[in-house]
Every structure is written in C-alpha cells, then in structure tokens.
Chain A
C-alpha cells in the first residue's frame, strides 16, 4: 500500500506561548484509509491539520503529504489535497453552484468544465434543489456538504476534514459519514479530526489520540478496540438516537454500523 502521509516530530510553537500547540507528532497513513485525530478542545487537532495542509508553517519536524514535502513543495501538496476547515469556508453571498464554479475555475478548470464538475458534485451531494440559493441560507448540514464538495473538485488524493460533524444533527451527521465512506471506497485517503469517539468508531481505520499537543495513544481501530473495550457513546443514549433516526432519518443507526 502506498503511504500518502508521513509526519515526523511535527511541532508548532506559537510566538509568545510557553507550551507547544503541537509537540513532536508522528503520523502515517496509507491510501484508501481514514485517520482520525481525536482529542479535546485545544489538544492541537486543528493546528496539526493546518500544518499538513500548508496553512501554518511548522516550527519543527517534517511531513510528506501525497509525495510532496509540506515545507519545500507547498504548491505540489496543495495540488493533491482537499481541505475542509473547521468552519465552512464559502462565499456566503454566492449560490452553491456559483461557489463550485468559482473554486473550479481557480483550480484551473475551463468555464464549461467547471460548470460540468459543479453539476456532478451537486448531484453527488444531493444539493441540486438548493444549487441556486445563496450559501448563507443553507442549513448546517447542507453547508458542510457543499464545503466538502468544493474540497473534492480536483479529486484530491488526500482529503483533510476538521471536525466534520460538530454541530450537526444525527441525520446530517450520518449523511456526511456516508459521503466520506464513499470517497474512501474510491481510494481517497482521509484525515479527519473529531471530538466524538463515536465518529472515529464509525469511520476510522487508524486513530491518534492527541493530548496537549502530543500523541497520547495511536494505533489501528482494531488494536485500540481491543485495548479499550466497547466504545462509549458520549452525548446521547443510543436508544434516543435510534428513535430520532427512525423519526427523521432515511436510515437507522444499525444500517450505518
């Protein structure tokens, strides 16, 4: 299997801060797998992702993403990745379709090709009906989907998603999980961060627990399951969530396991 991401001793110290935000993190990810970075608020998940996506310069360590060095070959990295930030990064005034065409054009697609790709992604993410409305009027789940669609315009080899489902209702959450699974089936490697064990349990092949910027525990999901016993569901009792999904959702929790 091809290794698409490899980080060694990745470190970030912000000026004027005593403790490092990310402190010597090692990571490794193969094609077609999902790596979940787990950790509480402030654990360093976003900063790690921002370094890997060339948005923030590391102060120590090194990393290769999709075969390119994040320090010396930033633009090569950017050509091969897709990034979905913690907060939807979209033009709120423009429609969903216009956003897709805009970023498609920026990625080098000709006008007709950009419109074509936008149409494909709108279908794929079930946004055809809302395509003409300003993104500012979208619901949280739709926003997340259009954000993900924009990140996929150039068919990235590695997709980075920061807290994909924070603030989403269970139905929207499951539809996003399905979208991620579909990508992974097609061979895309995914790095996501989450505060939810449940999410890591549903999506991840590999898990890294961050605490205060350092790796507290890392391994494949199967190894960690053995260590940890059954996963805890933190926020909602399962029975209520199942009820919710039968009430509002097209699928039940069981089908998604």
Chain B
C-alpha cells in the first residue's frame, strides 16, 4: 500500500518534471482559461451584458467551469501520448501496483486543475469579480474539483480506448460547442427555446451555476428545476460520471493485456 502511494507520487512527479522541462506549454495551458475570460469578456462582454463589470461578474464562474473541462483533453493527451511512446507498456512491464498509474495521473491532473483554478480565480478578482464569501469560494472550488475528478475518469477511459493522440484533437474541438451550448457565457433564456433547455441541462451549466450560487455571483433567473438546483445537480452528475467511468477506466487498463 505505501509502495503504491510512493509509486503514484513518483509518477505524478514525472508530470511535474514535464512542466519544469517545458514551461511554455505548461504556462499556456495554465493561462488559457484567463485568455478565454479576457477574450469573451473584453470583446463580447459589452455586447452581451451591456457593460463589462456586469459581464465579468457573470462570466468568471462560467470560465472556472470551462477550465475544468479543458482538463479533460489534458488527461486524454497524457494517456494517448504514453501509449504511443510505449511508456504504457513499459510501466505495465514493471513490478508496480496496477493502481499506481491511474492514481499518479489523478494526482498530477488534479494538481494542474487546482493551479488553473487558482490562476483563473486571481484573474477574475483582478477583473473586479468578488465572491460573496471565502467559504463560498472554497465550496465552489470543491464542486469544481468534483467535476474535474469525474472528467478525469472519463478522460482516462476515453484515452485508453483512443487509438492515437489525434483523437484528442476532436475533443479539443468539441469542447467549444459544448461550452457555447451552456450557461457559461450567456443566459440560456436568450437562446431558442429547445437549445436553451439543452443548455440548462448541460453538466457544464450545472457546474457554472453552482459556482454562481455559492459565490453569490448573479444567477440568471431560471425557472427550470435544473437552474434552481445547480449545486446538487452538479455534485450528483459528477458522482454518477465517476461511478460509471472509474470502473470502466480500471477495466480498460486491465484489458490492455488482451
């Protein structure tokens, strides 16, 4: 058990070594949500909300949720690159715990997302966003990390099943329509009715709305059940996704020897 923990930490340390060896891609990933915030807020915010401060107040929680979603492609890219470079096989040929590889990935990716969260929060604060209370902010961070944790297992499973790193490009593209079709950037009430309904039930909206609720940021006046129970909905969604994809990912990893 202690050996498995050491092995997981060593494997996570490998990713931290990548950050040190290649700081530029690391920083770009870290600052990308901030860039999105500036881009959407600075360029479109005035048109969407009338004035910038109001829009940032709305958009920061949304972009925090999107920052977690960006982690999905990070997980998938790490897994598929290791498979391509035969690192996955080398790790499987070592006398290490079968749990160490996913656990190491988990540590590294959760650390990366925590850093992205902190950076994006700081950027939001600089833009004038103010969470209602610090406890609210911590609760919001926990909801977001639960969402990221669910995406981690989804990413592990999809990454193990993907045949090449190129598959990740598809995910990188799909992230955008998924973000747009949610309450991240605009109020779904302004969308055509059926699209608005889809957007309200998008798990990304639940995460964003949960952060809005917990930090006292403006929540659009939703009349739907989904809009009014965002925190619970987000936590339940994350729980269900984890419960489904964690065993599937573990099984996919075990079945690599088929």
> What residues make up the interface of A, taking CB atoms closer than 8 Å to B?
15, 53-57, 75, 78-79, 81, 83, 85, 87-95, 98, 102-103, 105-108, 134, 150
Are B89 and A55 in contact, CB atoms less than 8 angstroms apart? yes
Cross-interface CB contact of A93 among B6, B10, B18, cutoff 8 Å: B18
Are B89 and A75 in contact, CB atoms less than 8 angstroms apart? no
Are B89 and A89 in contact, CB atoms less than 8 angstroms apart? yes
B 79-123 contacts with A by CB, 8 A: 85-87, 89-96, 100
A65 to chain B, nearest CB (A): 12
> What residues make up the interface of B, taking CB atoms closer than 8 Å to A?
3, 6-7, 10-11, 13-14, 17-18, 21-22, 85-87, 89-96, 100, 256-258
Whole-angstrom distance between the alpha carbons of A130 and B23 in the complex? 21
Beyond A15-B258, A88-B85, 9 extra complex contacts between A and B, CB < 8 Å: A55-B89, A55-B93, A56-B257, A56-B258, A75-B95, A89-B85, A98-B17, A106-B100, A107-B94
Contact of A105 with B10 at beta-carbon distance under 8 Å, contacts A55-B93, A78-B95, A79-B95 already known: yes
9 contacts between A and B (CB under 8 A): A54-B93, A83-B93, A88-B86, A89-B86, A89-B87, A91-B18, A95-B21, A102-B17, A106-B91
Inside 8 A of A53's CB, which chain B residues have their CB? 93
Inside 8 A of A55's CB, which chain B residues have their CB? 89, 92-93, 256-257
Inside 8 A of A88's CB, which chain B residues have their CB? 85-86
Inside 8 A of A78's CB, which chain B residues have their CB? 93-95
Whole-angstrom distance between the alpha carbons of A98 and B17 in the complex? 9
A-B interface, 8 closest residue pairs, ranked by CB to CB distance from nearest: A89-B86, A89-B90, A79-B95, A78-B95, A83-B93, A105-B10, A57-B257, A93-B18
B155 to chain A, nearest CB (A): 20
Cross-interface CB contact of A94 among B17, B91, B95, cutoff 8 Å: B17
Inside 8 A of B11's CB, which chain A residues have their CB? 106
Are A108 and B3 in contact, CB atoms less than 8 angstroms apart? yes
Contact of A91 with B87 at beta-carbon distance under 8 Å, contacts A81-B93, A83-B93, A98-B17 already known: yes
Are A102 and B92 in contact, CB atoms less than 8 angstroms apart? no
Are A93 and B21 in contact, CB atoms less than 8 angstroms apart? yes
Inside 8 A of A94's CB, which chain B residues have their CB? 14, 17-18, 21
Cross-interface CB contact of B22 among A57, A93, A106, A107, cutoff 8 Å: A93
Inside 8 A of A54's CB, which chain B residues have their CB? 92-93, 257
Are B14 and A57 in contact, CB atoms less than 8 angstroms apart? no
A68 to chain B, nearest CB (A): 11
Are A107 and B14 in contact, CB atoms less than 8 angstroms apart? no
Whole-angstrom distance between the alpha carbons of A53 and B88 in the complex? 14
User: Nearest residue in A to B86 (C-beta to C-beta)?
Assistant: A89
Whole-angstrom distance between the alpha carbons of A257 and B58 in the complex? 76
A137 to chain B, nearest CB (A): 12
Whole-angstrom distance between the alpha carbons of A58 and B86 in the complex? 20
A89 to chain B, nearest CB (A): 4
Inside 8 A of B256's CB, which chain A residues have their CB? 55
Whole-angstrom distance between the alpha carbons of A150 and B93 in the complex? 12
Inside 8 A of A90's CB, which chain B residues have their CB? 85, 87, 90
A71 to chain B, nearest CB (A): 11
Inside 8 A of B90's CB, which chain A residues have their CB? 83, 85, 89-90, 103, 150
Inside 8 A of A98's CB, which chain B residues have their CB? 17
Inside 8 A of A15's CB, which chain B residues have their CB? 258
Whole-angstrom distance between the alpha carbons of A102 and B7 in the complex? 10
Whole-angstrom distance between the alpha carbons of A85 and B256 in the complex? 16
User: Nearest residue in A to B84 (C-beta to C-beta)?
Assistant: A87
A99 to chain B, nearest CB (A): 9
Contact of A92 with B85 at beta-carbon distance under 8 Å, contacts A55-B257, A106-B7 already known: yes
